[in-house]
């Protein structure tokens, strides 16, 4: 059972169903393909039948210069140890990616998270629009590159402003005077009452 053979098996499956835009062998256990959006569903279900039946990770990458989101699926086969990354680029202004819930039930929460952090829509997943981790979020999805956490924080939690007449001294609070008194007494004890 050589792992190079596993990558050949993946190659056969992917090439029989699609024309990959890009192939990248990362190491002896991992290979990556970039596919067109319409091929993803078929390739994923074929790979699942061939033994890549664990969805290890599902997420997205933002490429604002190309005006694209890249959705990533990582599958794992424990029998023939190997990982395969399936990536596809979708339009950033109308981000819609059909859900893979029918193939991988475990994708449910990954898709919900991808919707929350990137704003990608997953039709087919009944609950993908429910908020998950962020509570009462009121800005653009935070993992997009045009979201600036510092600006958001400055807007959400404005820093305090002080008038010119501001002073920490409180008229009713005598603690500073008491401290000065105490210091003076201590100095008197040291010097025997003579002023230095």
Residues lying near another protein in the complex (CB under 8 A) are found at 3, 24, 26-27, 29-30, 32, 53-57, 59, 61-62, 72, 74, 76, 78, 81-83, 85, 87, 104-106, 108-110, 117, 132-135, 142-143, 147, 149
Nearest distance from C-beta of residue 105 to another protein, angstroms: 5
**Cβ nearer to another protein, comparing 106 with 123:** 106
Tokens of residue 18, six digits: 């699609």
- DSSP β-ladder status, 30-35 and 82-91: parallel
Nearest distance from C-beta of residue 28 to another protein, angstroms: 8
Neighbour tally for 98: CB within 10 Å: 15
Nearest distance from C-beta of residue 195 to another protein, angstroms: 51
47 contact partners, CB below 8 Å, separation of at least 6: 10, 13, 14, 75, 84, 86
**Cβ nearer to another protein, comparing 104 with 128:** 104
Nearest distance from C-beta of residue 186 to another protein, angstroms: 41
Nearest distance from C-beta of residue 74 to another protein, angstroms: 5
Within 13 Å of residue 40, how many CA atoms lie on the same side as its CB? 23
**Cβ nearer to another protein, comparing 105 with 163:** 105
**Cβ nearer to another protein, comparing 87 with 121:** 87
**Cβ nearer to another protein, comparing 137 with 183:** 137
Contact 36, 97 (CB under 8 A): no
Which residue in this structure is represented by tokens 């193939």? Answer: 103
DSSP of 135-175, one letter per residue? SS--SS-TTSTT--HHHHHHHHSPPP---TT--S--TT--H
């Amino acid at each position: 059972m050589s792992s190079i053979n596993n990558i050949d098996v993946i190659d056969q499956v992917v090439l029989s169903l699609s024309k990959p835009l890009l192939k990248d062998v990362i190491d002896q256990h991992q290979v990556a393909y970039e596919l067109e959006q319409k091929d993803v569903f078929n390739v994923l279900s074929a790979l699942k039948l061939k033994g890549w039946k664990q969805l290890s990770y599902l997420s997205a990458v933002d490429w604002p210069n190309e005006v694209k989101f890249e959705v990533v699926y990582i599958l794992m086969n424990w029998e023939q140890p190997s990982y395969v990354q399936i990536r596809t680029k979708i339009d950033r202004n109308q981000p819609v990616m059909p859900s893979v819930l029918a193939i991988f039930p475990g994708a449910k929460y990954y898709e919900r998270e991808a919707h929350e952090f990137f704003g990608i829509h997953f039709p087919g997943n009944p609950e993908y629009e429910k908020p998950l981790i962020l509570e009462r979020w009121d800005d653009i999805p935070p993992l997009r590159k045009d979201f600036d956490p510092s600006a958001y924080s400055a807007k959400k939690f404005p820093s305090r402003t002080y008038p010119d007449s501001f002073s920490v001294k409180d008229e009713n609070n005598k603690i500073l005077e008491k401290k000065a008194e105490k210091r003076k007494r201590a100095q008197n004890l040291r010097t025997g009452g003579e002023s230095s």
